[in-house]
């Protein structure tokens, strides 16, 4: 079955949008990677201004390169906020730390945000950008946290989208971060992810591969259905590309198609690991049909909180950043996550906290 059948282009008119939502609600879910469409027809002439890149400084406060001792690995992070626990964000495969830019601009009003460019992505540079094994990526995250915060890290909430959600779960399941106080996983479930791997190479190869300009890449990501929020695409898409001098065009920074040997390791056993994490957990999904049997049972037993975010694509944090930020902040509030467990001023708190 062709996984791209779930996809429609981003609507230009409200009426088309209503029709699209109705159609999408009737379509079966096939691939956890359904946000990557087939090559669309050549786009019409567009305004450069409409698809022009946005500067990350409008959303994050600062950036930093984190060098790992005794290695030629330098990880790039974006940071925002000045106090409270740290929401540590891990993006999906093919994305970058700026995938969380719009939501970070809201989250930072209450807590701190750190968004990492994972190995082989964004502005991060490592000795082996193709080693996307789950063990290596987990070690990367722990090494970055160690370098940034030493032996006295603040309260941390790990937030991971898609592949980054898998990394977040595996890091949490290791139980080696004493300051870990929460786990938020965005639109990745073992059952649907494992079933989708057979389609992954075809999905990757059917992407538009070359772009004459960054503006064209941003336009394609929106019109092709990868992202549904133009502003988020304008900030996040540029760092997923690099200029190829030999081809005289922009190509993808990450080479996911060359990392197939690691894909099963991202998702195998993920549901049990998620349930085993000894911290409050939130699972955000773009559709209920993504839930597998293990998580369905766990959710019925109250082992984690689940929210289905309607009318969004795979990249929930990009498509509806305000709603995503509110969900993360409410999760932090509900579970009283903060420095030394104290309440965070300005956050609405339910009368009876749920754990």
By annotation, the residues acting in catalysis are 162, 187, 314
CA–CA separation, 312 and 131 (whole Å)? 31
Q: What's the rounded Cα separation, in Å, for the pair 229 and 199? A: 25
Residue 113 CA neighbour count, 13 Å, CB half: 29
Q: Write the CB contacts of 316 (distance below 8 Å, at least 6 apart in sequence).
A: 161, 186, 187, 284, 286, 309, 324
Residue 249's φ and ψ, nearest 5 degrees, are: -160, 175
In this structure, the number of other CB atoms found within 10 A of the CB of residue 302 comes to: 9
Distances (CA, A) of 30 to 4, 24, 79, 183, 192: 9, 12, 35, 26, 8
Nearest C-alpha neighbor of 40 from the set 214, 197, 217:
217
Are 119 and 129 in contact by the 8 Å Cβ rule? The answer is: yes
For residue 14, with 0-12 CB atoms within 10 Å meaning exposed, 13-18 middle and 19 or more buried, which class applies? exposed
Phi, psi of 73 (to 5 degrees): -110, 125
* Integer Cα distance of 57 and 62 in angstroms: 7
Q: How far apart are CA 74 and CA 102, in angstroms?
A: 24
């Amino acid at each position: 079955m062709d996984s791209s059948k779930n996809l429609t282009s981003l609507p230009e008119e409200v009426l088309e949008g209503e029709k699209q939502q109705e159609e999408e609600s009737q379509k079966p879910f096939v691939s956890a990677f359904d946000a990557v469409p087939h090559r669309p027809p050549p786009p019409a002439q567009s305004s450069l201004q409409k698809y022009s890149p946005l500067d990350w400084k409008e959303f994050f406060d600062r950036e930093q390169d984190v060098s790992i001792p005794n290695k030629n690995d330098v990880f790039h992070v974006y940071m925002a906020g000045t106090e409270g626990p740290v929401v540590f964000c891990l993006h999906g495969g093919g994305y970058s730390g700026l995938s969380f830019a719009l939501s970070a601009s809201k989250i930072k009003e209450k807590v701190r945000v750190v968004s990492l460019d994972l190995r082989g992505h964004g502005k991060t540079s490592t000795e082996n950008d193709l080693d996307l094994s789950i063990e290596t990526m987990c070690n990367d995250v722990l090494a970055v946290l160690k370098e940034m915060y030493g032996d006295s890290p603040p309260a941390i909430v790990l937030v991971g989208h898609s592949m980054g959600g898998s990394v977040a779960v595996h890091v949490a399941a290791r139980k080696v971060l004493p300051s870990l106080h929460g786990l938020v996983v965005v639109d990745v479930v073992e059952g649907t992810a494992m079933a989708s791997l057979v389609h992954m190479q075809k999905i990757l190869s059917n992407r538009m591969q070359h772009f004459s300009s960054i503006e064209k890449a941003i336009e394609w990501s929106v019109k092709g259905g990868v992202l549904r929020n133009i502003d988020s695409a304008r900030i996040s898409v540029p760092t997923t590309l690099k200029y190829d001098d030999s081809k005289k065009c922009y190509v993808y920074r990450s080479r996911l198609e060359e990392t197939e040997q690691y894909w099963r390791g991202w998702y195998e056993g993920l549901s049990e690991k998620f349930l085993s994490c000894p911290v409050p957990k939130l699972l955000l999904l773009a559709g209920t049909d993504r839930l597998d049997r293990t998580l369905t049972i766990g959710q019925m037993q109250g082992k984690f909180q689940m929210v289905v975010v309607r009318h969004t694509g795979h990249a929930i944090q990009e498509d509806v950043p305000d709603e995503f930020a509110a969900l993360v902040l409410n999760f932090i509030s509900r579970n009283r996550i903060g420095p030394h467990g104290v309440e965070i001023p300005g956050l609405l708190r339910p009368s009876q906290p749920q754990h």
